[in-house]
Amino acid sequence: MLSTGQMPRLSKVNLFTLFSLWMELFPSAEQQKKSQVKYNYLGDNENKPGLVVVKNMKIIGLHCSSTDLHAGQIALIKHGSRLKNCDLYFSRKPCSTCLKMIVNAGVNRISYWPADPEISLQNEASNPITTDDAKLDAKAVERLKSNSRARVCVLLQPLVCYMVQFVEETSTKFDFIQKIAKSQPDSNTDFYTACRQERIKEYESLFLISNEEMHKQILMTIGLENLCENPYFSNLRQNMKDLVLVLATVAASVPVFGCFGFYNSEPQRTNETDHQGLPQEIARHCMIQARLLAYRTEDHKTGVGAIIWAEEKSRSCDGTGAMYFVGCGYNAFPVGSEYADFPHMDDKQKDREIRKFRYIIHAEQNALTFRCREIKPDERSMIFVTKCPCDECVPLIKGAGIKQIYAGDVDAGKKKADISYMKFGELEGVNKFTVMEGGVNELMVSQNPMLGIGAHGTKSSNSIIIVGDMLGYT
């Protein structure tokens, strides 16, 4: 564990950026069929960005491109003029088709990940014609940008010291990894490391441009020539690499392993959709979002993240299918209070009066309070929590009408000094899905092909110097 008492936190901007990258990887049905991240309907050169819509620093929409529509267009359909004054975080620089509509809606800021844009500039050698089109589009984007009130920029912040190291440590210790490790006493206990290496390789090839010259060329084409000089260029690349590393590490903590998955421990009644769990890929995806949220915690001991999604009766235009975002949160002190206003004592302290448990707002409570959509009784809604919901939260989740809980259950049935987890096990009327080994009928997911990547040593971010609160690459 780290020697310092304070846990490093992820900045909001970085959380939104990570969420946008992660939304690009949303396991949509069409994507699973294609088993390709790139989907092409206008040619060979389209990427499918993920998008986070933020209002007053709170997420109000998570979207990804679909077969027919770009993420930017989907945001327009879903939010319309409510996009006014919102900040949008894209995992790619949007194309001119999206940008003109977004600018027109009066958004405040458009931030994008500075790698290959939505209309790819990467395959110049293989296909010069589409690259010409891509360059023309990039020019149009620049013209729209210079004539718009909205700020179109790259917002990335260097991770705080030890963040990468901290994410590595906490991911290895995460409930799901521990649960799987315990069930495999004689197998390779280092499955987590192998899984993580695989994720790193995959996400680096997706979100980074390995060739520095190629990266520079793309930056020049998309109007970021000022970032091509050092030290900006190398800082930018390191910054991007660290964020990808954090994403891969967190994603590996909810691994695809053997027949482990999210299963309902109670006997299922047939023909009731509320009892049917989500496809494993989607459940895992949402749990990883909750895991990312946990790194925004204000509790110095345990980070907890929670996210609520719901499902419309019919498929919508979004790349997420029928699913839509409802709300999210992490454990924190009440809004408006200063961090120092409350005691931070943990249960080692003897004096019960000065302990934090009476003051901290739990992740589930924040997700419910700051939700951006109502929870509809006739829709399947689900909350993903990184830990077992406590006795304070279980009745709230049920009372709010949430139909399914996806959570860790390591603490279930336990009574700790200040917090107890007795109600989760007895809870009725809400379906509980926890990580366990699936039944024989479940589709066997092949064990990860342990890629023979030699060195597992990964660079931690110790060497990053924090230049200021925020580095805005305009």
Q: Name the residues annotated as catalytic.
A: 364
Among 98, 240, 248, 368, binds Zn ion (CB under 5 A): 98
- Whose Cβ is closer to Zn ion: residue 95's or residue 167's? 95
Could you give the string, one character per residue 111-140, with x where binding to Zn ion holds by CB under 5 A and - elsewhere? -------x----------------------
DSSP-derived secondary structure letter, 398: H
CB nearer to Zn ion: give 196 or 296.
Answer: 296
Which span (126-134, 262-270, 359-367, 399-407) binds Zn ion, by CB under 5 A? 359-367
Window of 63-71, 75-83, 102-110, 130-138 that interacts with Zn ion by CB under 5 A: 63-71
CB of 420 closer than 8 Å to CB of 390: yes
CA distance 298 to 130: 48
Assign residue 35 a region (left: φ > 0; alpha: ψ between -120 and 50; beta: otherwise).
Answer: left
- Closer residue to Zn ion in complex, CB, 17/73: 73
Nearer to Zn ion, 48 or 241 (CB): 48
Task: Return d(Cα 439, Cα 260) in angstroms, integer.
Answer: 9
Of 410-449, binders to Zn ion (CB under 5 A) are: none
CB-nearer residue toward Zn ion: 294 or 393: 393
Q: Which element (helix H / strand E) includes 212?
A: helix 212-221
Work out whether the CA dihedral 194, 196, 201, 206 comes out positive or negative: positive
Q: How far is the CB of 336 from Zn ion (least distance, A)?
A: 21
Q: Which region among 69-77, 437-445, 448-456, 464-472 touches Zn ion (by CB under 5 A)?
A: 69-77
Draw the binding track, 311-350, toward Zn ion (x: CB under 5 A; -: no contact): ----------------------------------------
Q: How far is the CB of 297 from Zn ion (least distance, A)?
A: 13
Given 15, 53, 95, 155, the residue binding Zn ion (CB under 5 A): 95
Q: Least distance to Zn ion from the beta carbon of 99, Å?
A: 7
Minimum distance between the CB of residue 221 and Zn ion, rounded to whole angstroms? Answer: 16
Total of residues contacting Zn ion (CB under 5 A)? 11
Of 71-79, 244-252, 261-269, 375-383, the window that binds Zn ion (rule: CB under 5 A) is 71-79
Cβ at position 76, least distance to Zn ion in Å: 10
Q: Which of 79, 356, 362, 432 binds Zn ion (CB under 5 A)?
A: 362
Strands (E), 182-317: 260-264, 305-311
> Looking only at residues 379 through 398 of this chain, which bind Zn ion when binding is defined by CB under 5 A?
390, 392-393
Least distance between Zn ion and beta carbon 152 (Å)? 13
The residues pairing with 383 across neighbouring beta strands, listed in sequence order, are 308, 405
Residue linked to tokens 């091509």: 228
Residue 360 in contact with Zn ion, rule: CB under 5 A: no
Joined together, the tokens standing for residue 251 give: 């994603």
Distance CA 346, CA 21 (A): 35
Residues 6+ apart with CB under 8 A from 444: 259
CB–CB of 101/72 below 8 Å?
Answer: yes
Q: Which of residues 152-211 bind Zn ion (CB under 5 A)?
A: none
Please name the amino acid found at residue 264: N
Beta carbon nearer to Zn ion, 97 or 447: 97
Q: Compute the distance between CA of residue 116 and CA of residue 145 in angstroms, rounded to an integer.
A: 18
* HSE of 22, CA atoms in CB hemisphere, 13 A: 29
In angstroms, what is the minimal distance from the CB of 368 to Zn ion?
11
- Name which of 193 and 302 has its Cβ closer to Zn ion: 302
| Strands 431-437 vs 404-407: parallel, antiparallel or unpaired | parallel
| CB 394, min distance to Zn ion, A | 8
Nearest approach, Cβ of 77 to Zn ion (angstroms)? 13
**Contact present, 351 and 343 (Cβ < 8 Å):** no
30 vs 442, which CB is nearer to Zn ion?
A: 30
Of these, 9, 70, 92, 344, which contacts Zn ion (CB under 5 A)? 70
Dihedral angle computed from the Cα positions of residues 458, 234, 121 and 88, in that order, rounded to the nearest 10 degrees: 80
Nearest Cα to Cα of residue 92 among 49, 151, 136, 41? 49
| Residue 268-307 contact track with Zn ion, rule CB under 5 A, x = bound | ----------------------------------------
d(CA 381, CA 411): 24
For Zn ion, the closer of residues 156 and 368 by Cβ is 368
Which tokens sit at 308? 């609520």
| CA 145 centroid distance within chain | 27
Asked whether the beta carbons of 465 and 238 are under 8 A apart, the reply is: no
**Choices 65-73, 305-313, 351-359, 375-383; region in contact with Zn ion by CB under 5 A:** 65-73
Beta bridge partner(s), residue 306: 329, 385
What whole-number distance in Å separates Cα of residue 314 and Cα of residue 224? 41
Q: What is the DSSP letter of 419?
A: -
Question: Which positions lie near Zn ion, rule CB under 5 A?
Answer: 70, 72, 94-95, 97-98, 118, 362, 390, 392-393
